[in-house]
Amino acid sequence: MNQKRKRRLLIEAAVIIAVVGMAAYIYTASTPEIFVYLKQNDIDGLTDFIRGEGQMGEIFLIALQVIETISIFLPALPVYICAGIIYGRFEGSLLCYITNLIMNAIMFLGSSQSRRQVGTKNNK
């Protein structure tokens, strides 16, 4: 296995571990409170929860966006509205945009990579 492939696999593993770690942290730190807010579209409750976390609020918001991008079950709108309410129109939009841009790029690269691997397996 060449160095480039090893480095890529290491980065992919680190991203997966980070996403799973953030999801586990959110789940254990706020279960089921945060998911109840999302399920009921309770923007006020979600906003109060994130504000109450202090410095960890941004990390919670980013983790929710990561989970929301990967999952089809979490609604995106309450998370985006909370970002705007808590951090203001510009900073909240920028936070959501950057997180979504990074996550969609990762999802695209992952899907194109898996397509290449499937394509090469079928050709052998």
What residues make up the domain containing 13? Answer: 3-123
Taking the alpha carbons at both ends of the chain, their separation in whole angstroms is: 19
Asked if residue 32 has a cis previous peptide bond (ω within 30° of 0), the answer is yes
Torsion sign, CA atoms 57, 59, 63, 65: positive
pLDDT tens-digit series, residues 28-86: 665 567 777 877 888 888 888 888 888 888 888 888 888 888 777 777 888 888 899 99
- From residue 111, give the alpha-carbon distance in Å to each of 49, 56, 100, 107, 117: 34, 31, 16, 6, 10
Counting runs of H as helices and runs of E as strands, what totals does the chain give?
6, 0
Structure confidence at residue 110 (pLDDT): 78
In the numeric block, the tokens 């890529």 are attached to 8
C-alpha to C-alpha distance for 27 and 110, rounded to whole angstroms: 25
pLDDT tens-digit series, residues 7-29: 887 888 788 788 777 776 766 66
| Domain tally, the chain | 1
Nearest residue to 104 (alpha-carbon basis) of 69, 73, 72, 76: 69
The answer on pLDDT for 97 being more than 90 is yes
- Are 15 and 106 in contact by the 8 Å Cβ rule? The answer is yes
* pTM, to two decimals: 0.62
